[in-house]
Structure 1
Amino acid sequence: MTKLFLIPKPNPHATLRLFCFPYAGGAPNIFMPWLNKLPNNVELVLIQLPGRGARLMEAPHNKMSSIIDELMLHSSFITQKPNVFFGHSLGSRVAYELALTLQKNNLALPQKLIASGSRAPHLENHKTPIYHLPESEFITKLRELNGTPKEVLDNAELMELFLPLLRADFEIADCYQTEKHPLPVPIDVFFGHEDIDVTPPMINAWQALSALPITQHAFNGDHFFINSHSEQVIKAVSKLLNSL
């Protein structure tokens, strides 16, 4: 199996796969707490892009198109079983773009797309880009965003290792915008009550990307509620998986 997919607990009898796409700068291990808390018929598949985890020494992607190109090399595995896509923040937009590309290639689509903590990807990013800032300013912005562990930000050697990945991820997050194309896939949108970066109009805009009514789910916490309130998130995801 390619390093792109990390399957921490293989389940050959699974009838459904849950593909999880991490946020900018995030690694697959953010989903490890989910491992034994999902329905028994679900196999958890974590997306491990270059520059993190077992692929730490590989050059990271800095364009959405190159991420999708790599994923589509394995489209036969992705579409092998019924599946659901879950992404958080940038991961939501990767998941949507992958679903859109599968449709363009007449391949099986996910049964559901769970878009967590993200503006709809056809919206323009009105935030000032940070990926090209000088190192000290870039690190200051990362601290403000509160998604990179403090022990990493405070360790000069680790930051030297992770800066190329973080800059590449934020280049995609800052610059990527897709076409508005409604998919025949139900979309569930997760958001944090205290998330100042993802506003109600940005959440509502996901409706333009589904031919079916979207469903919104509010959680306690800020942009990284997926970490701070992971039990709530896991319960909600499990409920949606059981409904399929």
Structure 2
Amino acid sequence: MIPVRLPPPEDVSAETADGSGMSMTLVVASLDHELGPMLRRPFLFYGHSMGALVAYHLTRLRQSRGRPLPERLLIGAYPAPHLPHRLAHCTHLPDEDLLALLPPHPAGHSRLLRQAPGLATATAARLRLHLGLCDSAAPAAPNPAQHTGHGSPQGRSEPLRCPVDVFTGISDPLVTDAEAAAWRHHTRAGCRIHRIPGGHFFTRETPESRAAFFDRLCTVLAGPSEWAAGASGPLPVTVAS
């Protein structure tokens, strides 16, 4: 397992509609360069929340460059990339209002932030940076003209040629079941949705949610790949609870 940190903001910033901010295009190009030598053997990507969007765009970049793809793309707690996330375009909000939008954190960060104004300021700045990164890769606003049927995006890039497994918290206020299931539009190799007890931070929210997540993850990793090379379209979505 290799934890991945974002590149330094000053190395991957670009002018955006809201000013200067991190660019998803520059971030994933930097990550592909740094991780490339380690991705010559079979591998998987797991990204949680903002990290899920980064993992998706990194996979897209590698596919466009003809490079090896993850055997599975594992997504946690993020809506399908053609849909706006719940905190889209909130970076202009004052620190207090921005932090109030966050779901409860298992470490009790809300209480700590109230007690330590300096920590709150630093946390809001980091959150603003990360939300800006998501905004740089997302549609400016929901546009019904770009979708048909059940949220199927029109004019999107070629679907991924690797399977996608989506982990979503049953009580996550930031991602609905429909938004999680919409990931099926972004792969032609099969998509499975795994509903995990807990909220947005189900990987560490409670002992029960953590155990449920890792039990499901072990099942996914132990199972056969659903790679469907040459498939003509997305395979049906499978939901597991």
Settle same-fold status: TM greater than 0.5. yes
Equivalents in 1 of 2:220, 2:38: separation in Å? 20
Q: What aligned pairs does 1:177-192 form with structure 2 within 5 A after superposition?
A: 177=138, 179-192=156-169
Equivalents in 2 of 1:126, 1:86: separation in Å? 21
Equivalents in 2 of 1:198, 1:206: separation in Å? 12
Specify whether residues 107 and 217 from structure 1 end up closer, same or farther in structure 2 by C-alpha distance, changes over 3 A only. same
- What is the match of residue 220 of structure 1? 197
Equivalents in 1 of 2:177, 2:157: separation in Å? 18
Which structure: larger Rg?
2
Contact 1:130 1:174 in 2 (8 A): no
Count the aligned residue pairs. Answer: 195
Alignment of 1:162 with 2:123, yes or no, is yes
Contact 1:131 1:174 in 2 (8 A): no
Specify whether residues 120 and 59 from structure 1 end up closer, same or farther in structure 2 by C-alpha distance, changes over 3 A only. closer
Q: What aligned pairs does 1:130-141 form with structure 2 within 5 A after superposition?
A: 130-141=90-101
Contact 1:118 1:198 in 2 (8 A): yes
- What is the match of residue 40 of structure 2? 80
Specify whether residues 161 and 194 from structure 1 end up closer, same or farther in structure 2 by C-alpha distance, changes over 3 A only. closer
- What is the match of residue 104 of structure 1? 64
Letter in 1 for 2:104: N
Contact 2:85 2:174 in 1 (8 A): no
Q: What aligned pairs does 1:3-42 form with structure 2 within 5 A after superposition?
A: none
Report Cα offsets for 1:105-144 as digits up to 9, x if no partner. 11000000111111111223465532111222223223xx
Letter in 1 for 2:74: I
Give the drift of 1:76: 2.3
- What is the match of residue 62 of structure 1? 22
Specify whether residues 140 and 123 from structure 1 end up closer, same or farther in structure 2 by C-alpha distance, changes over 3 A only. closer
Q: What aligned pairs does 1:199-214 form with structure 2 within 5 A after superposition?
A: 199-214=176-191
Contact 2:95 2:120 in 1 (8 A): no
TM-score by length of 1: 0.70
Contact 1:122 1:180 in 2 (8 A): no
Letter in 1 for 2:40: Q
Report Cα offsets for 1:158-193 as digits up to 9, x if no partner. 233333221110122345327443111011111111
Contact 1:180 1:208 in 2 (8 A): no
- Alpha-carbon RMSD across the aligned residues, in angstroms, is 2.7
Contact 2:167 2:196 in 1 (8 A): yes
Contact 1:79 1:107 in 2 (8 A): no
Specify whether residues 77 and 237 from structure 1 end up closer, same or farther in structure 2 by C-alpha distance, changes over 3 A only. farther
Alignment of 1:231 with 2:216, yes or no, is no
Alignment of 1:89 with 2:49, yes or no, is yes
Report Cα offsets for 1:188-244 as digits up to 9, x if no partner. 111111123212221221111110221111111112212211221122212222235
Equivalents in 1 of 2:74, 2:26: separation in Å? 22
Extract unaligned runs of 5+ from structure 1.
Answer: 1-43
Extract unaligned runs of 5+ from structure 2.
Answer: 14-20, 140-155, 225-241
Letter in 2 for 1:110: P
Equivalents in 1 of 2:124, 2:55: separation in Å? 24
- What is the match of residue 221 of structure 2? 241
What percentage of residue pairs aligned between the two structures are identical? 25
Equivalents in 2 of 1:190, 1:180: separation in Å? 23
